[in-house]
Amino acid sequence: MRTQVGIIGAGPAGLLLSHLLHLRGISSVVLEKRSRDHVERRVRAGVLEHGTVDTLVQAGVGARLLREGLPHHGIELRYGAESHRIAFDQLLPGRSITVYGQQEVVKDLIAARLAAGGDIRFEVTDVALHALEDRPYLTFGGERLDCDVIAGCDGFHGVSRPAVPDGVLTTYERAYPFAWLGILARVPPSAEELIYARTDRGFALHSMRSPEVSRFYLQVPPDTSADDWPDERIWAELKARLETVPGFTLATGEIFDKGVTPMRGFVTEPMQYGRLYLAGDAAHIVPPTGAKGLNLAVADVRVLAEALDAFFATGSADLLDGYSRACLKRVWRAQHFSWWMTTLLHTFDTDDDYGRRLQVSHLDYVTASEAAATTLAENYVGLP
């Protein structure tokens, strides 16, 4: 078998890349180790930056997103006994975010690829990368796929990054001493906007998926299992962390999904080796506090699709050679923003009264100063 671009991973990065290449007349095959059902049900974050929405709409895969996505023009920061709105619409006229589950993006992309005759192989085994320096090929389940280029879109635990010879990549990492417990509940949102809450019991986030379904997160110890969290315990803790302002009552309902997300920052430099290009979580991870993971994956493959277009159209590898450099600026901005939001809103084991007062002082500043609020807002909705 032969294709122009062999893509490993059918997450948002691999699927969108395959679609963007198809629009440019470039062939690809996507190899995914999990089932279609599994990738379509995997619950992840759900905040799309302005530019991410534009990319999906321009690529012709935004119809359902425009119909069902929930546009948001601000977020709420809750701490002490007060709520403060960061009003994107006033600070940055015309820019907003859209709440739309990542697995909905994945479903839309799979549907678009299959409708166009795209080649996605689910449940493939033993994917391995070979001859990355010049004539790359992939093997899987006893088959061989020759390619001009390989895109490693196989997430943090994939096989692409480890296929690069030792000593080529430098990795940068930050671990956090907590995780997030995320749930989906069949209950209408208790507020119109996302609420990021800092309390001495830990962080909590109120989000949503639809007028009938709410999404919540709790800061939890890193070694927690979802089994440690029966529904009553989750609701009690969410109430303790969110019902901190007068007049706010948290509506509760049936919890139908629970999962624990580790929190880490990770970047590999460069994001390429020979004819292998890494995109999305395969190259970098952010803690979910700024909701940047999916948006970074989309930004990477936008750059990669352009570079591949130039490469196949003209034979020039200039843009491909600059791929990593072009992506890493945005990647590091998102690393910093996610780290900053995380340190602003979570409790750390090492917190002392001095540290806590610094945190509150910073929150007071962000909510009182238009300059500071604009900094948060422009990073949150996404830099151009």
Q: Give catalytic residue positions.
A: 72, 196, 288, 292, 380
- The binder of 291, among ligand APR, ligand PHB, none, by C-beta within 5 to 8 A per type, is ligand PHB
Rounded CA-CA distance 245/233 in Å is: 21
Q: Which stretch binds ligand PHB (CB under 6 A): 14-22, 128-136, 282-290, 345-353?
A: 282-290
For the segment 214-273, give every residue that binds ligand PHB (CB under 6 A). Answer: 215
Based on the shown chain and the rule CB under 6 A, indicate whether residue 45 belongs to the binding site for ligand PHB: yes
Q: Residue with structure tokens 């907590």?
A: 178
Among 193, 288, 299, 327, the residue binding ligand PHB under the rule CB under 6 A is: 288
- The item of ligand PHB, ligand APR, none sharing an interface with residue 46, based on CB under 5 to 8 Å by kind, is ligand PHB
Q: How far is the CB of 294 from ligand APR (least distance, A)?
A: 4
Binder among 46, 202, 265, 287 for ligand PHB (CB under 6 A) = 46
CB of 293 to ligand APR, least distance (A): 3
DSSP one-letter string for 27-66: -EEEE-SS-HHHHHH-----EE-HHHHHHHHHTT--HHHH
In terms of residues, how long is the chain? 384
Q: Give CA–CA dist 253/48, Å, rounded.
A: 26
| C-alpha–C-alpha distance, residues 256 and 132, integer Å | 43
Considering the rule CB under 6 A, would residue 289 count as an interface residue with ligand PHB? yes
Q: End-to-end CA distance of the chain, in Å?
A: 39
Nearest CB to ligand APR, comparing residues 44 and 333: 44
- 3-state class (DSSP) for residue 278: strand
Question: Which residues neighbour 135 within 8 Å (Cβ) at sequence distance 6 or greater?
Answer: 146
Provide the binding-site residues for ligand APR, judged by CB under 6 A: 8-14, 31-34, 39, 44-45, 102, 127, 153-155, 158-159, 280-282, 293-294, 297
Using CA atoms, how far apart are residues 29 and 121, in angstroms rounded to an integer? 8
For the CB of residue 342, give the shortest distance to ligand APR in the complex, in Å. Answer: 14
CB of 149 to ligand APR, least distance (A): 17
Q: x/- string (CB under 6 A) for ligand PHB, residues 179-208?
A: ---------------x----------x-x-
- Interface with ligand PHB in residues 108-147 (CB under 6 A): none
Q: How would DSSP label each residue in 67-121?
A: HH-EEESEEEEEETTEEEEEEHHHHSTT--EEE--HHHHHHHHHHHHHHTT-EEE
Which of the listed partners (ligand APR, ligand PHB, none) does 289 bind, with a CB threshold of 5 to 8 Å by partner kind? Answer: ligand PHB
CA-based nearest residue to 53, from 100, 103, 91, 20: 100
Enumerate residues 6+ apart whose C-beta is below 8 A from 162. none
Q: How far is CA 101 from CA 81, 98, 190, 199, in A?
A: 30, 10, 18, 26
Select 101 or 136, whichever has its Cβ closest to ligand PHB: 101
Task: Give the H or E element holding residue 187.
Answer: none
Q: Using CB under 6 A, which of the segments 80-88, 137-145, 166-174, 289-297 binds ligand PHB?
A: 289-297
Minimum CB separation from ligand APR for residue 235, in Å? 25
Point out which residues bind ligand PHB (CB under 6 A). Answer: 45-47, 194, 205, 207, 215, 288-291
